């Protein structure tokens, strides 16, 4: 989940420290405190092989092993471990959330939405889960849920920096451009130094046909994070529409190299070359 909440780190990577039973704790290292992921996999292998634990403990060990596979970019193994944890302990909301992260990263948005929704149902006050559901809902073409989740997110965390950005995206998907701009402006005011709200506001400007303002916001975001695929694609498109074709094509080529399906993401918001 890129840190930018449109990518892999967008907050979906919840590395919770859940407590293992005493027998499992004896195998030091199968916990969220062990940042050496290759070692943690080995430690969790030993915990799982020992088998001296409750269902929750077994699920926790699978979960932590899955997190390490995910950190090592082996999403197939990560998802398999999260699924195994859920099979052992159907109430293991950590694994539902994190499997949703992996599914979202692979473009399986409907399945990801189902998983993060289950995580919220199991732990309704968990800010991370509500945030994840809000974000995934936009990509899963559920702007209604994105909006209700953003409202809930503000109730749980009034200072949350993503809630208004989620609203802007959901309104944009719905074609409610005035509401989208209002939400995007709120997001920029709340996080004036962040590239994410600038890119969201830029997309609203672009959808409204104001490529000059869109360019300014994309350009400002790229000064903060030069290799952001969304900023590059949007700025490139704005430049082409403003007559700066060569520079625009160069930006868009860089964006596609970073994220081959970037055009599909923009199309979701009604923005096409």
pLDDT in tens, 254-264: 999 999 999 99
- For 1-106, the fitting CATH number among 1.10.1740, 1.25.40, 3.30.70, 1.20.1300 is 1.25.40
What's residue 24's pLDDT? 43
Residue pointed to by tokens 């916990």? 31
Residue pointed to by tokens 């077994």? 58
Distance CA 9, CA 248 (A): 27
- Intrachain domains 1-106 and 194-273 with the same fold: yes
Give helix then strand counts, H and E, for the chain: 15, 0
Q: Which two tokens stand for residue 153?
A: 């997110």
What's residue 172's pLDDT? 97
What's residue 136's pLDDT? 97
Handedness of CA 42, 25, 14, 91 (dihedral sign): positive
Q: Residue 242, Cβ neighbours under 10 Å: how many? A: 14
pTM of the predicted structure, to 2 decimals: 0.85
Distance CA 13, CA 259 (A): 19
For the chain, residues with pLDDT lower than 70 are 1-27
pLDDT in tens, 231-252: 999 999 999 999 999 999 999 9
* Cα–Cα distances in angstroms (integers) from residue 88 to residues 12, 19, 78, 142, in the given order: 23, 16, 16, 30
- What would be the CATH architecture of the domain defined by 194-273? Alpha Horseshoe (1.25)
Q: Give 175's contacts (C-beta < 8 A, 6+ positions apart).
A: 270
Domain ranges of the chain: 1-106, 194-273
Query: What rounded mean pLDDT belongs to the chain?
Result: 90
């Amino acid at each position: 989940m890129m840190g930018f909440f449109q990518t892999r780190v967008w907050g979906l990577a919840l590395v919770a420290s859940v407590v293992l039973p005493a027998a499992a704790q004896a195998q030091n290292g199968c916990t969220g405190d062990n940042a050496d992921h290759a070692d943690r996999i080995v430690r969790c292998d030993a915990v799982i092989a020992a088998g001296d634990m409750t269902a929750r403990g077994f699920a926790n060990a699978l979960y932590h092993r899955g997190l390490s596979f995910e950190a090592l970019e082996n999403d197939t193994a990560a998802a398999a471990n999260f699924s195994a944890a859920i099979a052992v302990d159907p109430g293991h909301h950590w694994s539902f959330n994190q499997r949703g992260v992996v599914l979202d990263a692979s473009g399986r948005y409907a399945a990801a939405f189902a998983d993060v929704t289950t995580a919220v149902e199991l732990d309704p006050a968990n800010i991370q889960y509500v945030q994840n559901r809000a974000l995934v809902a936009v990509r899963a073409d559920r702007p209604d849920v994105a909006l209700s989740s953003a409202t809930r997110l503000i109730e749980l965390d009034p200072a949350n920096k993503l809630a208004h950005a989620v609203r802007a995206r959901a309104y944009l998907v719905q074609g409610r451009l005035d509401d989208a701009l209002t939400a995007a402006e709120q997001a920029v005011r709340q996080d004036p130094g962040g590239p994410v709200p600038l890119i969201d506001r830029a997309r609203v400007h672009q959808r409204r046909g104001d490529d000059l303002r869109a360019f300014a916001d994309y350009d400002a975001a790229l000064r903060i994070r030069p290799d952001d695929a969304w900023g590059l694609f949007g700025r490139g498109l704005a430049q082409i529409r403003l007559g700066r074709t060569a520079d625009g094509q160069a930006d868009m080529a860089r964006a596609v190299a970073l994220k081959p399906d970037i055009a599909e993401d923009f199309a979701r918001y009604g923005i096409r070359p």
